[in-house]
Chains A and B, each alone.
Chain A
């Protein structure tokens, strides 16, 4: 699939990548996933899974710089973009129901100089 946008800079290019995704494996912490946006049913987003159900996630609310902690409810995951300064993710729309995840991103195919796996480690 073709992915573009600023929210995953350092992992994905803002101006476009072609990557492969698979739907078979179980999603765990650190995976980059494709999900259907809970705010706009026609949009697909790519984010990283930071927390799964039961995890205690702590994040900074952009507007007033305060820190909040939340427990991810059952059946949900917490996703965040790698470039948190410009990413609309669970810090905006809350924990995401697991059923909206469409697949896990495995491998980047294009641009060719960055051909290779998209792994769970963040810089």
Chain B
């Protein structure tokens, strides 16, 4: 019987502990939802978006709301799930929306041969700013709009390049 009384004494503390844990749990859920569906920070690296983004890596803030409302426009830098490797995300610029006619040179180092293409319905044309070192729609074709997962807003690291991306 003594241990029952002992348990009762701890009831107050247990209740308080539970409340604190549930506050932490709710906060973590909120962080996860914000990161996944509203705005998140991503580390991007690689030469395909020079000179806009650095070779060795930048941290950018990307928002995940615009693509759900169809508000991705020409010239936006977007985070896209790669059509050739579904576990990777790539960062490119949108250069064509559905219905646009684009002409590009299939291999910029090999001369002037140029190809013209119309972006089909439900797709976008993405290209890296650095045409010489980017695998993008010139290689794998227009990508379906739903592969876009975020739009880049601004760069937060390195601090001397802090600012919005154009």
Interface string of A86-115 (1 = CB under 8 A from B): 000000000001111000000000000000
If A39-B122, A75-B83, A98-B86 are given as contacts, then 12 extra A-B residue pairs at C-beta distance below 8 Å, sorted by A number, are: A36-B144, A39-B120, A41-B144, A41-B145, A74-B84, A74-B85, A75-B82, A76-B83, A97-B81, A97-B83, A99-B83, A100-B146
Docked Cα-Cα span, A10 to B75, in Å, equals 46
Interface contact B86-A39, CB-CB below 8 Å: no
Docked Cα-Cα span, A97 to B143, in Å, equals 9
Interface string of B63-89 (1 = CB under 8 A from A): 000000010000000000111111000
Interface residues of chain A: helix, strand, loop or mixed (majority): loop
Please pick, from B83, B84, B122, B143, the residue contacting A37 in the complex, using a CB distance under 8 A. B122
Q: Among residues 30 to 44 in chain A, which have CB atoms less than 8 Å away from a CB atom of chain B? A: 36-41
Q: Is B11 an interface residue (CB 8 A)?
A: no
**3 smallest A-B Cβ distances: which pairs?**
A99-B81, A98-B86, A38-B144
Interface contact A75-B122, CB-CB below 8 Å: no
Interface contact B146-A36, CB-CB below 8 Å: yes
A-side contacts of B85, CB under 8 Å: 74-75
Q: Is B138 an interface residue (CB 8 A)?
A: no
Docked Cα-Cα span, A42 to B122, in Å, equals 9
Interface contact A39-B121, CB-CB below 8 Å: yes
B-side contacts of A5, CB under 8 Å: none
Residue from A36, A39, A74, A97 having most chain B Cβ neighbours under 10 A: A97
Docked Cα-Cα span, A75 to B143, in Å, equals 12
- Within the complex, the shortest CB–CB distance from A40 to chain B, in Å, comes to 5
Chain A contact patch, size range: 10 to 19
Given contacts A39-B121, A41-B122, contact A100 B144 (CB under 8 A): yes
Interface contact A99-B121, CB-CB below 8 Å: no
B-side contacts of A75, CB under 8 Å: 82-86
Q: Is B147 an interface residue (CB 8 A)?
A: yes
Docked Cα-Cα span, A36 to B82, in Å, equals 15
Docked Cα-Cα span, A36 to B145, in Å, equals 10
A-side contacts of B83, CB under 8 Å: 75-76, 97, 99
- Within the complex, the shortest CB–CB distance from B66 to chain A, in Å, comes to 13
Residue from A36, A39, A99 having most chain B Cβ neighbours under 10 A: A99
Interface contact B122-A99, CB-CB below 8 Å: no
A-side contacts of B144, CB under 8 Å: 36, 38, 41, 97, 100
Q: Is A73 an interface residue (CB 8 A)?
A: yes
Interface contact A99-B147, CB-CB below 8 Å: yes
Residue in chain A with minimal CB distance to B88: A75
Given contacts A97-B143, A97-B144, A100-B144, contact A40 B84 (CB under 8 A): no
